[in-house]
Structures are given as C-alpha cells and as structure tokens.
Structure 1
C-alpha cells in the first residue's frame, strides 16, 4: 500500500461476549485488497489486539457463494497465524451488520471455514465450523519444558487429561490443571515458553480446568503473538473439543461451555458443539462492536 493510497477502515469488535468490555477484541478490515503483508502486520501491531482479520475476494472454489464468501487472513502484533476463531466471529458479526445474518464462507490458510450468523432479540451470534481436527503426542522432554516455563509441577496436572497437541485449524498444547486455583495463578517465563512454542509450531497453550461434565474454565498464553494471554480463543476451543471427544472425556454428541477471560477482567463464553456424525467442531458465541 503506497503512502498516498486511501487508508482502509479498521473496525473493532469483541467476540464471545455481548458487551464491549468482555470477550476478545479483534480488528476487522473488510476490504484488505490494497494491503500487503507488511501493511496488515503493521495494522495488527498498532491495534495491539491478539489478532486482527483482513478480508479480500474469495478464491474461485467459493465462487458459487456470491457476496457471502471471502478470503481471510489473521495477524497478531508479531506474526501471521493460520486460523483465529475469535477474529472469525468478529468478522462474521461485522459482515452481518452490513449484509444481514445467514451463512458465510471463509477461505483461511488452514482451509474452508463455514460460519452461520443469527440474530435474536438484538444479539448477534456467530458459529464457525472448524477444519477436520487431529491430535498429536507431546514428548516427555517437551512437556517437562512446558511445565518449567509455566512454573507448574507435574502434580499440578489433572491425571484424567493427558497432555497432547490438538489441531482444528491451529496447533495448541492442551494442559489441564488439577485445581481452579492453579489455573488462576498464571505467571510464566515469556521468552522460555515462546521459544518452545516456536519449536513445536504452537499458536497458544490451552490451559483447562474442568468445573463440571460440560463446563470448563480455560486460559491461553500467547507469547508467540506478542501477547501475554489471549482473552478468548476460538481456535483453541475447537481444538479442545476435538481433544476431549478423542479421549472420551465428553460424549461424542455434546455441547460444552468454555469460560475464558475471567482472570483478565474480560469474561467471555464459548459454546463448543460436538456431533457424532461429523469430526469437525463448531464454536459459537456472541459479538459486538467496540466504540
């Protein structure tokens, strides 16, 4: 983008909350056609949100969804990420305000992500469907390093939740805390965890505590994005849903509620829907414009 070119409009939305002070803020640029990678990174860095979404024309494979399909890229203040759930929800809510609710299709670096947007009593809710997930082992050495960076002990882990790397558009290390108090106290070694995450190609670390059969509290350190903690993480929620189902921690058909952001003063709520007949994971929540 040349210095004399018109500056794109940067919208600000929060996802997974119906109030501007909750959930996870995201920048949204609905027409990023004039921007290059450096421009998008600069805008994301200037905003300082964990991620921002940049939309352009859809690829040919989505040509049949005229006016309801887009290519989308996501940038944190430090780097591009392949997929971001909260910025997807934010972009979908922004589009719904312009073109109305309904079905949208986003072509991401991770694959095609459909989103359904509905409005009820003035509240807009977007539900994305992830790409097909998978689960990977994490080595003992890498787990030891992760715990050391977090200043956690092996005894701090819930033995019912085996540590794994889960993917549903981005890679996340899933670690479950044995107590809510352990989850609440998060003071980690930023450069040490960042180095491990770069080596394992992780987007966040998904820290979880189980409150009930279908309710979980979660936190997501995000040093690779230049952010200490992500307030509400849709991509990690999708990955966790796949992980929980794979290990029989929840039924194959289930609706889970993930509470995130409480410890940051930005409470958000993510709904994770699992279907026995579909390996993909649905993640939904409300969204609203900021200012």
Structure 2
C-alpha cells in the first residue's frame, strides 16, 4: 500500500431481522475518531449499503454516531443505530441497558431490551400534503381508489420527515410502480428522507406492512427503516385511532429480492398525546469487510 493508503474494518449487521432472518444491512465502523468527513463518505460509498454508522468517543453521551449514505451524511438512521448498539452489546462494551448516542442533531437515549436495541425519537409533527396528492399518486402509478379511505397522506416527522401513504390492501402495496425521478423531486419539495407507503392489511401479529423509497438519498428501496416506523406508529395511533402503545411494523417483504424486517415501536402517551417514542429491533452480524481508502 502507498503511504497514504489506509484500511478500515467494517462490520455488516442485519438490523430489524424477523426471526433472525432478512433485515436491513448496515455497516458499523468502531473507533472512527480519526476519520474525516471525506473518509467516512468514501468508506460509506465503498461499503455500498444504504447507511454506515461510524462510532467514536463522545463527551456528552456514551458514544458519538455519524451516519452516512453513499451520497451524504444523515442526521439519524434507525437501522444503523440498532446495528451499532446491538454490536456494542455483543462485544460487551455497554455498561448497562440504558445508553445514549450523540448525533449531529443532538443526543438520543438508547435502551436495550433482551436482544433488541431501541432508540429514542421525538414526538411527531404532521404536515398536510393534499395540494400535491395527484402528483404523489402519479409518482407511484396509483389512483385515488387505491388509497385507504378516510386516511389522508401526511408528512410525519419524529426526527426525520417521511411521506406516509396509506393504501387499501397488500396487493396494491406489492404492485406499486415507483417513478424515482418524480419521488425524488417531491421528496426535495418537502425535505423528506423518502416515501413510506403502507397497508394495515396484514397478519394478526403485524400492525402494518410498509415499503420505503428514498431516491433523494441514493436508496431506491430499503428493507427496514426505524426512523420511518416511528412516524407510522404515530399515524396509526393519531389518525387511524389504533389506541395502543406497542406497534409492530413489517418492511422489506415486497422488495426484490425480499428481505423481511420487523420494527417494534413503543409509544409514550399522555392524555391521548404521544410525548415520545422508542423504535427498535434486533441486529445480527452478517459479515466483515476490509475497506481501503486514501487518507
């Protein structure tokens, strides 16, 4: 290797696995303190997954986490957080079942429950998108009759913004034909991570099945999105009036190839209002790769 060539070890973990299978792969890099922003972006590009988490020391939380897609840095990432803290737990590096992460958007609490890692999200905010309803439908090859009745599309944010689109049944969800250029321009207009299209037409133990498209972040479709599951659980509670506090969200089932994931969301509710929430799942080590980069 030339003098300025370096190598970093990246663990690949599948987060939000369903019965230890499927899930959404994320890269995890330990001891990332000496890596620059450019280094991290290069490594994330070479890893080629939707997100890679870089773990370094923090003065204000247990660990500092920086998240990179192949194209840019992102404030929060659910599946990479679950992957990172599952891995830290498996290495015996967590002092207790309550932990914390420092991010570029402030600190968040982390909880470990048995094999699951949960991350804190903020109380939801909602934005009406009815003025772009037709454009949104066109971007998915859908018509109004494909939507769930009395369930408006909304942008919901619990830390990141996602456009939630309720469709009437599983077949409609499976048959979506996304126009990624249109999705990207609408995502740009609302400053979204992406679209989260879902149906409540599911098996008994699953509350909703969803698909996530985020072409603006270089992700055509993702298998498990913790930062989108929080908004969806909030929507199910507030808009669809499913009055419970634990939701199971399935994702990745209709990807090609399928990679089914389950995200558990636990709402904190006071006087019918969601005051905060935790979203989590299990991370399973799948592989280890060595990435070369130039310092």
Using structure 2 for the length normalisation, give the TM-score: 0.87
**1:263 aligns to 2:254 (yes or no):** yes
**1:111 aligns to 2:106 (yes or no):** yes
Distance 1:3 1:193 in 2: 43
Distance 2:19 2:44 in 1: 22
Show the 5 A alignment for 1:5-84.
6-17=6-17, 21-58=21-58, 60-62=59-61, 69-84=62-77
Show the 5 A alignment for 1:194-233.
194-211=184-201, 215-233=207-225
Structure 2: stretches of 5+ with no match in the other structure? 288-295
Question: Residue deviations 1:79-138, cap 9 Å, x none?
Answer: 22221111110010111112256222012233322111243xxxx211112123211121
Distance 2:18 2:170 in 1: 25
Match of 1:238 in 2: 230
Secondary structure class of the residue paired with 1:9: strand
Show the 5 A alignment for 1:84-95.
84-95=77-88
Of 270, 278, 283, the residue aligned with 2:279 is: 283
Distance 2:137 2:3 in 1: 46
How big is the shift at 1:143?
2.5
Structure 1: stretches of 5+ with no match in the other structure? 63-68
Question: Residue deviations 1:203-227, cap 9 Å, x none?
Answer: 0211110036861111101111212
Distance 2:201 2:108 in 1: 30
Match of 2:290 in 1: none
Match of 1:173 in 2: 163
Distance 2:128 2:159 in 1: 17
Paired residue total: 277
Q: Which has the higher contact order (CA 8 A, sep 6+)?
A: 2
Distance 1:286 1:280 in 2: 21
Mapped contact 1:19–1:288 kept (Cα < 8 A): no
Mapped contact 2:60–2:102 kept (Cα < 8 A): no
Distance 1:56 1:172 in 2: 28
Distance 1:74 1:230 in 2: 16
Structure 1 vs Structure 2 CA RMSD: 2.1
Match of 1:157 in 2: 147
